[in-house]
Amino acid sequence: MLQVNQLNQYYGAAHTLRGISLSVEKGKCLSLLGRNGVGKTTLLKCLMGVLPVAAGNVSLDGRDITKLKPHQRAALGIAYVPQGREIFARLTVEENLLMGMATKSGKKASVIKGEVYELFPVLKEMLHRRGGDLSGGQQQQLAIARALLAEPKLIILDEPTEGIQPSIIKDIGRVISLLRERGDIGILLCEQYFDFARELADTFVVLSRGEVVASGSQQEMDDDNVKKHLAV
Ligand SMILES: Nc1ncnc2c1ncn2[C@@H]1O[C@H](COP(=O)(O)OP(=O)(O)OP(=O)(O)O)[C@@H](O)[C@H]1O
């Protein structure tokens, strides 16, 4: 579904991404691992079209999207949950969710809403609370829920466990597992939390200094080698 081929990106003279290739399949989770500053967020921004690429290409379901703008990629079915969540703090939970459904209407909207409330029951209880008053973990759930309401083909999650309490990390892991089991969505999970990323991965890619230093199926993962690339 998502193919990335020989992607290169620069911040000024700094060569931040060096020949990155990877693919995410429908119904599968790719875990993208690497310590702070190796270029994970930069790569995700390039995939979403927030940053331009210097060379290489990105395609979705065989269509070259390298030059498309973020809103065009969103319309084609890519949803991005950025690091730090970026929910609307002054809007209620319900209003935040409505933002995710801007393109849906009527019956369809209520069906999708029902599915998302099933995945995140806590949000249903907090519909009228302001986003900014939720805990960090609840905000992360809200950001993922909002992304899912757009019914994406591919969801990109940038470090969803960062700064989140263990019980909510478990809830988020359960949701990602359920999405995998559903089989109709590709998941690109960017993480530094090894156990979480390993458990959910069908495939993995490890970045170090802007380059892919290890990749393969979950069964092929050499835990010690990957952890070495995550240790500070
Ligand atoms: N806007 C920018 N201008 C210049 N350099 C940047 C910019 N954003 C990031 N960088 C640099 O690019 C490199 C990769 O950063 P990036 O944020 O992609 O890393 P990361 O792996 O996502 O780390 P983190 O988990 O801390 O976000 C880092 O050296 C960072 O300092």
Residue 105 has pLDDT above 70, yes or no: no
Pocket lining: 42 vs ligand 1, CB cutoff 6 Å = yes
Atom of ligand 1 nearest to the CA of 162: 25
- In CATH, which of 3.30.70.20, 1.10.357.10, 3.50.50.60, 3.40.50.300 is domain 1-77+155-167+187-232? 3.40.50.300
Residue 106 has pLDDT above 80, yes or no: no
Pocket lining: 190 vs ligand 1, CB cutoff 6 Å = no
For tokens 């849906």, name the residue. 104
Within 13 Å and on the Cβ side, how many CA atoms surround 153?
14
Q: Three-class SS string for the chain?
A: CEEEEEEEEEECCEEEEEEEEEEECCCCEEEEECCCCCCHHHHHHHHHCCCCCCEEEEEECCEECCCCCHHHHHHHCEEEECCCCCCCCCCEHHHHHHHHCCCCCHHHHHHHHHHHHHHCHHHHHCCCCEHHHCCHHHHHHHHHHHHHHCCCCEEEEECCCCCCCHHHHHHHHHHHHHHHHHCCCEEEEEECCHHHHHHHCCEEEEEECCEEEEEEEHHHCCHHHHHHHHCC
Pocket lining: 9 vs ligand 1, CB cutoff 6 Å = no
Q: Calculate the dihedral angle through the C-alpha atoms of 59, 159, 190, 153, rounding to the nearest 10 degrees.
A: -40
Q: Which helix (H) or strand (E) holds 214?
A: strand 211-217
| pLDDT 10s digits, 138-149 | 999 999 999 998
Pocket lining: 36 vs ligand 1, CB cutoff 6 Å = yes
| pLDDT 10s digits, 211-226 | 999 999 999 999 999 9
Mean pLDDT of 94-116: 77
Residue 191 has pLDDT above 90, yes or no: yes
Q: Tell me the whole-structure pTM to 2 decimals.
A: 0.93
Q: CA–CA separation, 57 vs 169, rounded Å? A: 33
pLDDT value at residue 211: 96
Q: CA–CA separation, 169 vs 160, rounded Å? A: 8
CA of 35 to the centre of ligand 1 (A): 11
Pocket lining: 210 vs ligand 1, CB cutoff 6 Å = no
Q: Three-class SS string for 74-91?
A: HHHCEEEECCCCCCCCCC
Phi, psi of 148 (to 5 degrees): -70, -25
Task: Name the residue ranges covered by the structural domains of the chain.
Answer: 1-77+155-167+187-232
As a residue count, the chain comes to 232
Q: Confidence class of residue 101 from pLDDT cuts 50, 70 and 90?
A: confident
| CA distances (Å), origin 200, targets 72, 93, 94, 150, 231 | 29, 27, 29, 22, 20
